[in-house]
Homo-oligomer: A and B are copies of this chain.
Amino acid sequence: MVREHHSILDCTIRDGGLVNNWDFSVQFVKDMYDGLSGAGVEYMEIGYKNSAKLLKGAEAGPWRFLNEDFLKEVIPKKTDTKLSALVDIGRVDENDILPRENSLLDLIRVACYIKDVDKALELVQKFHGYGYETSINIMALSHVMENELSEALEEINKSPVDVVYIVDSYGSMDYRDIDYLVSKFQRLVPDKQLGLHMHNNMQQAFSNTLIGAHKGVKFLDSSVYGMGRAAGNCPTELLVSNLKNPRYDIRPVLGIIENHMIAMREKWEWGYIIPYMIAGALNEHPRAAMALRSGADKDKFVEFYDKLTSPEAMPTNHHSD
């Protein structure tokens, strides 16, 4: 039995916040950190480090606009589990970022679309200079042309970034896509660690993550009970129970699910839900499906499918969040 060395990065608070508009109590986030620490999870993403000033009309709590003083109240004593935050291009105020020695954060991840890779690398350069571990997460890879991706990866390999993520924003990828992309990234960014962030529209987030892990991807994103926007993510409980590493223990994750996630899932919706499945099968942003699920026609699947596949269907626009 070969022991596998991976870093699970649980993003329940960050990606799950897209489900409930970051309506998480401090106690929940504390319990999450304790549980993930007990489970041996290497990283917990505790929110976005975007700036409220740059997001008009945004009022969604502390997990969207992380503040170091507040963080110290939430996590008075750090464990082996490191903390990360995500930033979006154009939404982060660099003056908000402290040098790492004054911060609870260890890793700053920069999410971007392919057209903004240059801007992302500028941010990476700065955060790297502040002493943080860094990643670049290129979203919507299933809509990116091969030549554009190859050029971007060439630039990325020359940058100081530590981790390069393959992001299946639309939950449209299967194991062959993962096999292909991981091989490609391994060839084109040989000096970087790789990461995977999968969505579960077609019930493949876990299997895709497992296949990537066995191919040598180091960073594996997940969330407890799969909580994340729309169809959600690879469930943390499946990773810790299937990866061969004695450091992982599913028991504390089961405690989080029992104490918090079952009630949350009754209040808020995520997971394998037919309109998200349809969007995934069509390789589309879940935006239209999310709009459908918030209205009275939420279970009119055939009508929704016809709308998305009609010749007049509007092409999807790309925005983050």
> What is the interface of chain A, defined by CB distance below 8 A to chain B?
174-176, 200, 202-208, 210-211, 214, 235, 237-238, 241-242, 250-251, 254-255, 257-258, 262, 271-272, 274, 277-278, 281, 299-302, 305-306
Contacts and interface: CB of A to CB of B under 8 A. Distances in A.
A263 to B, nearest CB: 9
Given A175-B175, A238-B203, A305-B254, A262 B210 contact: no
B302 A254 contact: yes
B257 A174 contact: no
Contacts of A210: 174-175
A255 B174 contact: no
Contact of A207 (B174, B242, B271): B174
Task: State the copy count for this chain.
Answer: 2
B207 A175 contact: yes
23 contacts: A175-B207, A175-B210, A175-B211, A202-B238, A202-B242, A203-B203, A203-B238, A204-B206, A204-B207, A207-B207, A238-B277, A241-B277, A241-B281, A242-B281, A250-B281, A251-B305, A251-B306, A254-B274, A254-B301, A257-B274, A257-B301, A258-B302, A271-B272
> SS class of chain A's interface: helix, strand, loop or mixed?
helix
A233 to B, nearest CB: 11
B258 A203 contact: no
Contacts of A205: 203
A202 to B, nearest CB: 6
B235 A203 contact: yes
Contact of A258 (B206, B272, B301): B301
Contact of A174 (B242, B254, B271): B242
A258 B302 CA distance: 8
A250 B174 contact: no
Lowest 6 A-B CB distances belong to which pairs?
A207-B207, A241-B281, A254-B301, A258-B301, A203-B206, A254-B302
A274 B265 CA distance: 13
Given A202-B206, A204-B206, 4 more contacts: A175-B210, A203-B203, A238-B281, A250-B278
A257 B185 CA distance: 39
